[in-house]
Amino acid sequence: MVSHNDVSDIGADPFRERAGRAFGKHKQILGGYFRFESNSEVLLQLVEAAFGELPQHRLPVAATEFHIELRLVQRPRAMEIDEPAPLRMQSGAGLIAGVMDECNYVMLAPMQHRALVVVSEDMLGHAYHVRYEFIEFAVFVLAARGSNLVPLHGACVGRDGRGILLLGASGAGKSTLALHSLLRGLDFLAEDAVFVQAESMLATGVANYLHVQADALRFIDDEPARDWIAQAPVIHRRSGVAKFEVDLRRGPARLAATPLALVGAILVSNELANDPDELLSPLAADEAAAQLVADQPYGAVQPGWPQFEQALLRLGVYRLRRGAHPQRSVDALEPLLR
């Protein structure tokens, strides 16, 4: 459990000077400025693994400043962690908490633009979980709440400053479509989480990794690209699915240099198309609105959703059914970016 002192610290000033803290980093992420401070250089290396060497996106508003403290602690009694427990989420009194155990948790004060991430030394053997479930989670929540961005579970690719959202249920093929889009030469914005400023309909994201299953390799004819993916580390999602975690900063991907102006959204379906030449079909406004809410339950309850939804419906929402090869899906979406 999180102690009362920890809650009091973050509510007052969790970033006041503490003995032993000696490391810091500054990053521009999702249009905001993030200051990371830690008593552990190893934790700041995970910050670099998540956000280093990325394009610095700016949005047409004053950048919000955020502060995240990363605290490495020693467990009173050492233990071996085979599989980290999932975070248990709680919220109230202006705080959001994700608790794994008494030595591993994240606490966020969105209104204060601050977060505290506590990690035990034995969790460093599970760097993926620390980076993805603690550090990236803290950044994403603070950015969405503090910069009034609509958070979406999905991908986004584009060309010449224009972007298209790729949405759909897990397993529908978003990552495969994003992969083949980048192999085609489209700009890559994000694969797992996209953040949209509803007033401008500009999309931003973190183009650090792409997660693809091994069976996706059979559709890649280019040998260097196939080797690039096959040599990536394998991570295991909470669902149990194993995926290559491909670092987009170490390959042929073109990372979107600036936020992308959205031109519409595609709801990716794993349903096979009846006509191989007709994969993409527009959705009527009522059906599109219902599908968007069903596909994005978290984003749909955020303050900016009504404005975002109406703007996206005006731009256009499409259903993309599966063709014989993922490249056919890229063929179908490319005209939307012209």
Average pLDDT, the chain: 91
Residue pLDDT, tens place only, 222-266: 999 999 999 999 998 887 789 999 999 998 899 999 999 999 999
Give the pLDDT confidence score for residue 21 in this predicted structure. Answer: 53
Residue pLDDT, tens place only, 54-69: 999 999 988 999 999 9
Give the pLDDT confidence score for residue 10 in this predicted structure. Answer: 37
- DSSP code string of 290-305: HHHHHH-TTGGGSTTH
291 and 219 in a common domain: yes
297 and 202 in a common domain: yes
119 and 158 in a common domain: no
Q: Is the pLDDT of residue 220 over 70?
A: yes
223 and 188 in a common domain: yes
41 and 8 in a common domain: yes
* pTM of the entire predicted model: 0.91
30 and 89 in a common domain: yes
Q: Is the pLDDT of residue 300 over 90?
A: yes
234 and 196 in a common domain: yes
| CATH number, domain with residue 240 | 3.40.50
**Whole-Å CA distances, 289 to 22, 187, 197, 295, 318:** 49, 27, 18, 10, 11
Give the pLDDT confidence score for residue 238 in this predicted structure. Answer: 80
65 and 180 in a common domain: no
Q: Which residue has the tokens 């809410």?
A: 293
286 and 257 in a common domain: yes
Q: Is the pLDDT of residue 19 over 70?
A: no
159 and 27 in a common domain: no
End-to-end CA distance of the chain: 53
124 and 93 in a common domain: yes
Last residue of a domain, one of 147, 173, 199: 147
Structural domain count of the chain: 2
Domain holding 331, by residue range, is: 151-337
> Mean pLDDT, to the nearest integer, of 310-335?
95
Last residue of a domain, one of 147, 174, 194: 147
